[in-house]
Structure 1
Amino acid sequence: MPSIYDFSLPSLDGKTINFSDYQGRPILLVNTASKCGFTPQYEGLQHLWSVYGREKDNGLAIIGIPSNEFGNQEPGSSDEIGAFCHRNYGVSFPMAAKASVRGPDAIPLFKWLRKEGGFLSTPRWNFYKYLINGQGHLDKWYTSLTKPEGKRIEHAVQRLLLDC
Structure 2
Amino acid sequence: MKNRYRILAMLFVALGLAAPGLAAAAGPGQSRVTTAHDFAFRSISGEELLLSEFRGKSVLVVNTASQCGYAGQFASLQKLYERYRERGLVVLAVPSNDFGGQEPGTASDIEHFARHEYQVTFPLTGKVTVSGANAVPFYKWAGEQAGLSGKPRWNFHKHLIGPDGNFIASFSTQTEPDSPRLVRAIEESLPEPEWLRSEPAVKQSGEPKM
Q: Under a length normalisation based on structure 2, what TM-score does the superposition of the two structures give? A: 0.74
Secondary structure (helix, strand or coil) at the match of 2:109 reads helix
Secondary structure (helix, strand or coil) at the match of 1:87 reads helix
Which of 175, 192, 196 is residue 146 of structure 1 equivalent to? 175
Q: What is the identity, as a one-letter code, of the residue corresponding to 1:157?
A: I
> How big is the alpha-carbon RMSD for the aligned residues of Structure 1 and Structure 2?
1.2
Which of 84, 88, 91 is residue 52 of structure 1 equivalent to? 84
1:99 is displaced (CA, Å) by 0.4
Between stretches 64-73 and 9-18, larger displacement belongs to 9-18
Residue ranges of structure 1 left out of the alignment (5+ in a row): none
Partner of 1:6: 38
Q: Give the distance between the partners of 1:13 and 1:162, measured in 2 at CA.
A: 29
Partner of 1:101: 130
Which of 51, 76, 101 is residue 72 of structure 1 equivalent to? 101
Residues 60-95 of structure 1, C-alpha deviations (whole Å, 9 max, x = no match)? 011100000111000000000000001110011000
Q: Give the distance between the partners of 1:17 and 1:28, measured in 2 at CA.
A: 15
Q: Is the 8 A contact 1:134 1:163 kept in 2?
A: no
**Relative to structure 1, is the Cα distance of residues 147 and 48 closer, same or farther in structure 2, using a 3 angstrom cutoff?**
same
Residues 12-56 of structure 1, C-alpha deviations (whole Å, 9 max, x = no match)? 111221111111211100000000111000001100111111xx4
Q: What is the identity, as a one-letter code, of the residue corresponding to 1:39?
A: A
Partner of 2:154: 125
Secondary structure (helix, strand or coil) at the match of 1:65 reads strand
Higher helix proportion, which one? Answer: 2
Partner of 2:53: 21
Q: What is the identity, as a one-letter code, of the residue corresponding to 1:10?
A: R
Q: What is the identity, as a one-letter code, of the residue corresponding to 1:11?
A: S
Q: Is the 8 A contact 1:66 1:97 kept in 2?
A: yes
Partner of 1:87: 116
Residues 107-155 of structure 1, C-alpha deviations (whole Å, 9 max, x = no match)? 0000000111111111100000001112211111100000012211111
Count of aligned pairs:
161
Higher RCO, Cα 8 Å, sep 6+: 1
Residue ranges of structure 2 left out of the alignment (5+ in a row): 1-32, 194-210
Between stretches 154-163 and 85-94, larger displacement belongs to 154-163
Mapped pair 1:40 → 2:72:
yes
Q: Under a length normalisation based on structure 1, what TM-score does the superposition of the two structures give? A: 0.94
Q: What is the identity, as a one-letter code, of the residue corresponding to 1:8?
A: A
Secondary structure (helix, strand or coil) at the match of 2:102 reads coil
1:163 is displaced (CA, Å) by 4.7
Q: Give the distance between the partners of 1:99 and 1:31, measured in 2 at CA.
A: 9
| Deviant stretches of 4+, over 4 Å | none
Q: Identity over the aligned pairs, expressed in percent?
A: 36
Q: Is the 8 A contact 1:116 1:137 kept in 2?
A: no
Which structure's CA Rg is the greater one? 2
Q: What is the identity, as a one-letter code, of the residue corresponding to 1:91?
A: V
Secondary structure (helix, strand or coil) at the match of 2:117 reads helix
